[in-house]
Structure 1
């Protein structure tokens, strides 16, 4: 069995496969909107956590995408424990009270559940965030866990499509480097012949 450092190294390598641009994660927008409406939270995020940073790859609500240090991320606790995290009053929770997002008033309450990648390792979390403290119910947790499964499937589909696109591009590049012609050369390949001056293929051409 590997040690904790080795395990997190493999986990981080898996997570980096899911750090995607906005145009690739657009299909998650509708899911996150439904999560926000169902759980009555203003903000929902899909965060991927690698070895030292948390990357928000899709967001519905306030805030923006980008990354923050892993040491300042709520979702890091989800990743490290592999379990959901409920924070009903972040300002009075000793685990998170000193986080910049809490001190600035951006996060007052938080609910996050793990996202598992293709390698069967936790790559990050889907989370709901509110700027005020609030009660979070067991029903909301169960619902978010179900939505997490949907997001996992969507992320795997996006990853598969991305890898297939890269493989096609690599194959095309290898073909060009191997000297394969990009288009047929008339008169040189396929038995085609060059027309003689004054003639066209199919019929003679008279020069006026």
Structure 2
């Protein structure tokens, strides 16, 4: 561990998470440029798994993972926490012979033996994640191979930076993720200033991966292009449509209330489900699931609108797909004057004997919202600790999903 990190780890972590937040990549859908990198890792090095990951306050989240079934792992169980802190590449030829990992669950239960990881470093010098090669067999890793992995890390960071600058998605003609959020921020400010209605839809194509897997990426690209064309014909000129990543899109509807937004989403859903695609001798239907949110004191900005629409989209997927859903927002009292953050936190309970890492995503004077790996075992009341802010507050859970908690301070 470097001297800078050991002297002021809380400040280092706070600055690092701020850099990660600027890239706006956490929990975004899979995207082909990053999948291409992880496929190259497996092909070039002959390993079982290639991963491009981001690391927040409580987990290592996989932007792309070729050869791995999981989408995230607890930060304290991650091999990548070492290059994250040291800022330099790390190679583990045989994890069973390395005292740092002999009792690691990924070794004992997951069969990991070999690991090579390189930090992903932002232009301002902060490590926001890693790129790594993993195998179930011990092996050596030459200096030449490590150099190739470092080059792939640079390519990955270049893609992240290009993603930040793009305004139009070249394939579909929709706004890029960043441009949509910038336009959405302006629309939300205008709606708040003049007390106008504003609605947000997010939608995701159901089982889209099977199209790419069965018929190739050219077929998948055609599906995405035709879906957006069908949607645009039903939208007004004042409406905005953006590609958030992969097969997930968002629509912003100015001067539209909740009931009207649900009606628009239903029209889009029906239009998409009416599309049929022929690839060779196969005819393939396509459907989409929708989530709906509206602006208000509990959703005053584009980030919260997208967050709540995504929660509704998640429920639509859970309830069978090819449907529209809207969820009730977090109680207004705890979201008033809330601010978006990305901070490392700890959930403390059982007389301080139990501690669960979390990532705090928003906070107000009255409450907070946080992401965790899973809500099982978390009590209805606990203490939230944010060491970088010197905050420790007793709180109670007011709403939750399987990986998110919203709490009110007691």
Does structure 2 conserve the Cα–Cα contact (< 8 Å) formed by 1:13 and 1:50? no
Does structure 2 conserve the Cα–Cα contact (< 8 Å) formed by 1:111 and 1:128? yes
Cα deviation, residue 178, structure 1: 4.9
Q: Which residue of 1 aligns with 2:112?
A: 107
Does structure 1 conserve the Cα–Cα contact (< 8 Å) formed by 2:117 and 2:132? yes
Cα deviation, residue 63, structure 1: 2.5
Does structure 2 conserve the Cα–Cα contact (< 8 Å) formed by 1:47 and 1:58? yes
Residue from 47, 54, 60 that aligns with 1:48: 54
1:30 partnered with 2:36 = yes
Cα deviation, residue 149, structure 1: 0.3
Q: Which residue of 2 aligns with 1:69?
A: 74
- Measured against aligned partners, the alpha-carbon deviations of 1:184-206 in whole angstroms (never above 9, x if no partner) come to xxxxxxxxxxxxxxxxxxxxxxx
Corresponding residue SS for 1:91: helix
Corresponding residue SS for 2:91: strand
- Greater share of residues in strand: 2
Does structure 2 conserve the Cα–Cα contact (< 8 Å) formed by 1:47 and 1:75? no
Does structure 2 conserve the Cα–Cα contact (< 8 Å) formed by 1:108 and 1:133? yes
Within a 5 Å distance, the mapping from 1:179-190 to structure 2 comes to: 179=194
- Measured against aligned partners, the alpha-carbon deviations of 1:77-131 in whole angstroms (never above 9, x if no partner) come to 0100000010010111101111100001431100000101244200111000001
- Measured against aligned partners, the alpha-carbon deviations of 1:18-60 in whole angstroms (never above 9, x if no partner) come to 313224x332111221222112212100111122221112111
Does structure 1 conserve the Cα–Cα contact (< 8 Å) formed by 2:83 and 2:117? yes
The alpha-carbon distance between structure 1 residues 119 and 164, as it changes in their structure 2 partners (threshold 3 A), is: farther
Q: Which residue of 2 aligns with 1:143?
A: 148
Corresponding residue SS for 2:132: strand
Does structure 1 conserve the Cα–Cα contact (< 8 Å) formed by 2:34 and 2:63? no
TM-score (normalizing by structure 2):
0.41
Q: Which residue of 1 aligns with 2:318?
A: none
Corresponding residue SS for 2:25: coil
Q: Which residue of 2 aligns with 1:187?
A: none
Which consecutive segments of 4 or more residues in structure 1 shift more than 6 A? none
In the alignment, the residues of structure 2 paired with residue 53 and residue 105 of structure 1 have an alpha-carbon distance, to the nearest angstrom, of 17
Aligned residue-pair number: 181
In the alignment, the residues of structure 2 paired with residue 15 and residue 103 of structure 1 have an alpha-carbon distance, to the nearest angstrom, of 31
In the alignment, the residues of structure 1 paired with residue 18 and residue 105 of structure 2 have an alpha-carbon distance, to the nearest angstrom, of 27
Cα deviation, residue 168, structure 1: 0.8
Question: In angstroms, what is the RMSD of aligned CA positions?
Answer: 2.4
Corresponding residue SS for 2:181: helix
Q: Which residue of 1 aligns with 2:178?
A: 163
TM-score (normalizing by structure 1):
0.77
Residue from 8, 11, 18 that aligns with 2:25: 18
Does structure 1 conserve the Cα–Cα contact (< 8 Å) formed by 2:84 and 2:130? yes
In the alignment, the residues of structure 1 paired with residue 80 and residue 164 of structure 2 have an alpha-carbon distance, to the nearest angstrom, of 21
Cα deviation, residue 3, structure 1: 2.2
In the alignment, the residues of structure 1 paired with residue 158 and residue 65 of structure 2 have an alpha-carbon distance, to the nearest angstrom, of 17
Does structure 2 conserve the Cα–Cα contact (< 8 Å) formed by 1:22 and 1:58? no
Corresponding residue SS for 1:95: coil
In the alignment, the residues of structure 2 paired with residue 177 and residue 15 of structure 1 have an alpha-carbon distance, to the nearest angstrom, of 28
Gaps of 5+ in 2: 166-175, 197-235, 238-410
